[in-house]
Amino acid sequence: MPTTVDSMYVWALIEEASVLVQLVMLTLVLASLVSWFLIIQRSAVFKHSRRTLESIEQQFHQADLQALPAPSASIQSGASEVVLAGYQEFNRYQQQPQRDPQVVMDGVERAMQLAIAREERRLGQHLPFLATVGSVSPYIGLFGTVWGIMNSFIGLSQVQQATLAAVAPGIAEALIATAIGLFAAIPAVIAYNRFASRGEELIARYYSLAGEVSASVHRQLHLARG
């Protein structure tokens, strides 16, 4: 039964929409659900990384490199991985009877840079999906809207008397696709920008922490030579 003006509520409009428009709506709803799952998951990851970084920075300021406790392998944290990489590399060179201080410094710095690169990839996981949802969803919704309005005008051309009541339900159901597209896109764009900014901040702090580790290694090497 065609949707009348009196029954123009959201679910009725969705039920009366064409199959293609319904598929567009379903795709956008699924994209929105996945986006929200990733937003929650990424928020927890960034919160944990920031908390651990602050803890490691505080420990590092209160102890030298060798006094730092080795981070647990079961706990994945960017800050602990950076410090642990420098710590382990430094200990490897310490076991050698003859070592060049510059070689030790280069090895420690390379190990920490690799750890930072791994953490950068970890922080960037799933962000491309959020960026894709944020940029593509409005266009997918617009496609559903255009298709629905096109069908409405095609149906309107087949009736003798064209009225707003005849075309309004079709246009309304088509506009729902655009609304769902915006609903999926806006949180994804906001989350992507926020996570990208947080990631850059964390990576900058990791490089700063790596610089402090390098300075500590440099001091210990020169003290050992003296």
Give the pTM.
Answer: 0.78
In the chain, the DSSP E strands lie at none
Separation between Cα atoms, residue 121 and residue 74, nearest integer Å: 19
Nearest to 22 by CA among 138, 148, 137, 188: 148
Number of other residues whose CB lies within 10 A of the CB of residue 137 = 25
Spatial CB neighbours of 191, under 8 Å, sequence gap ≥ 6: 35, 38, 39, 42, 130
Cα gap 153→166, rounded to integer Å: 10
The domain segmentation of the chain, as residue ranges, is: 9-58+78-225
Give the integer Cα–Cα distance in Å for 127 and 186. 14
Per-position pLDDT tens, the chain of length 226: 444 444 456 667 677 777 888 898 899 999 999 999 999 999 999 999 898 888 887 777 665 555 544 554 444 577 888 888 888 888 887 777 667 778 888 888 899 999 999 999 999 999 999 999 999 999 999 888 888 888 777 766 666 665 655 566 667 777 888 889 999 999 999 999 999 999 999 999 999 888 888 888 887 777 666 5
Degrees, nearest 5: CA angle 86-88-90: 65
**What are the tokens at 183?**
């609903």
Radius of gyration of the chain (CA): 28
